[in-house]
A and B are shown apart, each in its own frame.
Chain A
Amino acid sequence: MQATPIIACHECDLVQREPTVPADGVARCACCGGELFRNQPDALDRSLAYTLGALILFVIANLFPICGLLAQGNLIKTTLFGSVLALWDNDMRLVAIVVFFTTILFPGAEIAAMLYLMLPLRFERVPRWFAQVFRLRQAVRPWGMIEVYMLGIIVALAKLAHIADVVTGYALWSFGGLIFLLAAAAARFDARVLWIRASLYHA
């Protein structure tokens, strides 16, 4: 029964007719102003493209050093995982786990889940465990904090700039790009369209 244009607001529970919105417009709840959905042309294609880009930058951001410190002729570099290890080695294991989850595991899981959901749909197939992976992506999303980590890098480097020479690494730049691509991919990720397509191809 996909034709029923009746929806309810997630934030205030008001039942309403699905409003028509222009392309790139946002449908808002008549009562509380919460976002109902966005009308995005080519949502699947665009979101998929951004996600693929995000995947590439995510890999680079994890493989290369983020930044380094030049002190007395020695260059000390760190990667993303290096900062997790440093906490672990200093007996801050719980905090190390939190940092690992919020900057590596959850963002990675979000990207992987989005690809897993959208890539087969693009070719008119519904992947196995569609609903479960969809929910996993939803659960993981608020806990991915790469943009906060990026700001953390900037603050840390600004603090150290007083005492030593600071060097930036490739990963820092890919981090910056990753934030924009992942945000764009998530903004284009249209649950409505995905579910309609999924039930269409399923039949």
Chain B
Amino acid sequence: MPRSALSAASLDLLICHSCGQLSRAAPGVHEAACARCGAHLHVRKPNSISRTWAFLIAAVIAYIPANLLPVMETGSIFGSQSDTIMSGVIYLWTSGSWPLALLIFFASITVPALKIISLVYLCLSVQFRSNWRPKDRARLYRVVEFVGRWSMLDIFVVAILVALVQFSALATIRPAPGVLAFATVVVLTMFAAQTFDPRLIWDNLDKKHA
């Protein structure tokens, strides 16, 4: 689809993300207050790419302990055992609950990794002024924004297990440091997705901006 130069930015219009109203700005002015609701307006999210990179790099760093450190410890009269996310998945797989194993593997390991890779790709494609399949990149961004929350699954599972099995005579389950690293990854990747401005994907296609 050929894109004309009619982006709001090229017409010195700022869109309000709160109420949707378009406000006119003086040429070259990049911020304003919304005429209707008073929200702070920006032509593009400020420093979108560098902020997204910062969150992404932090997320990659936290991703390592999130996967290597145990997320919970199970203690019973037979001794204690630490589980990482992956060993939990393997346990579920070998004990026959393969649908659960797949679910956790997907939500906890695949989704955060794919999310980080996708955002890295989106950032790079904007920085290298790619014109390649912008509509699919916009779609990719929407998917990344939508699925990110589901990675919290394992944190909640641990929270419920700990609450239920802490005073039991059978065993005790305690959270282990991996949970903190894992929650950090989820929160950081969500921030990364929020700070990325999908309009940047289209700016290269607008002749006026090129």
Instruction: Give which listed residue, B95, B168, B175, contacts A90 with CB less than 8 A.
Output: B175
Contact (Cβ within 8 A) B168 A99: no
Chain A residues near B37: list those with CB within 8 A: 130-131, 134-135, 195
Q: Which residue of A lies closest to B179 (CB)?
A: A95
Say yes or no: is A7 at the interface (Cβ < 8 Å to chain B): yes
Contact (Cβ within 8 A) B39 A8: no
Say yes or no: is B131 at the interface (Cβ < 8 Å to chain A): no
Chain A residues near B164: list those with CB within 8 A: 67-69, 76, 78, 156, 160
Query: Smallest distance from the beta carbon of B98 to chain A beta carbons, Å?
Result: 12
Contact (Cβ within 8 A) B38 A8: no
Chain A residues near B19: list those with CB within 8 A: 131, 134, 191, 195
Contact (Cβ within 8 A) B169 A71: yes
Chain A residues near B93: list those with CB within 8 A: none
Query: Smallest distance from the beta carbon of A47 to chain B beta carbons, Å?
Result: 16
Say yes or no: is B207 at the interface (Cβ < 8 Å to chain A): no
Q: Which residue of B lies closest to A18 (CB)?
A: B20
Chain B residues near A74: list those with CB within 8 A: 168-169
Say yes or no: is A13 at the interface (Cβ < 8 Å to chain B): yes
A-B contact count (CB 8 A): 198
Bitwise interface map of B from 164 to 204 toward A, beta carbon under 8 Å scored 1, else 0: 11111111001100011001000100100010001101110
Instruction: Give which listed residue, A10, A16, A82, A130, contacts B17 with CB less than 8 A.
Output: A10
- The answer to whether A138 and B202 touch (CB under 8 A), given A131-B37, A131-B39, is no
Say yes or no: is A159 at the interface (Cβ < 8 Å to chain B): yes
Contact (Cβ within 8 A) B170 A31: no
Say yes or no: is A151 at the interface (Cβ < 8 Å to chain B): yes
Chain A residues near B51: list those with CB within 8 A: none
Say yes or no: is A192 at the interface (Cβ < 8 Å to chain B): yes
Q: Which residue of A lies closest to B206 (CB)?
A: A13
Contact (Cβ within 8 A) A32 B156: no
Instruction: Give which listed residue, A8, A95, A102, A142, contacts B175 with CB less than 8 A.
Output: A95
Say yes or no: is B150 at the interface (Cβ < 8 Å to chain A): yes
Bitwise interface map of B from 73 to 113 toward A, beta carbon under 8 Å scored 1, else 0: 00000000000000000001001010010011000000000
Q: What are 10 contact pairs spanning A and B, CB under 8 A?
A: A12-B199, A14-B3, A82-B163, A83-B159, A90-B175, A95-B159, A95-B175, A148-B153, A152-B156, A159-B92
Q: Top 8 A-B pairs ranked by shortest CB distance?
A: A152-B156, A86-B163, A78-B163, A8-B8, A131-B37, A156-B160, A83-B163, A13-B7
- Report B's interface with A, CB cutoff 8 A: 1, 3, 6-9, 11, 13, 15, 17-22, 36-39, 92, 95, 97, 100, 103-104, 134-135, 138-139, 141-142, 145, 149-150, 152-171, 174-175, 179-180, 183, 187, 190, 194, 198-199, 201-203
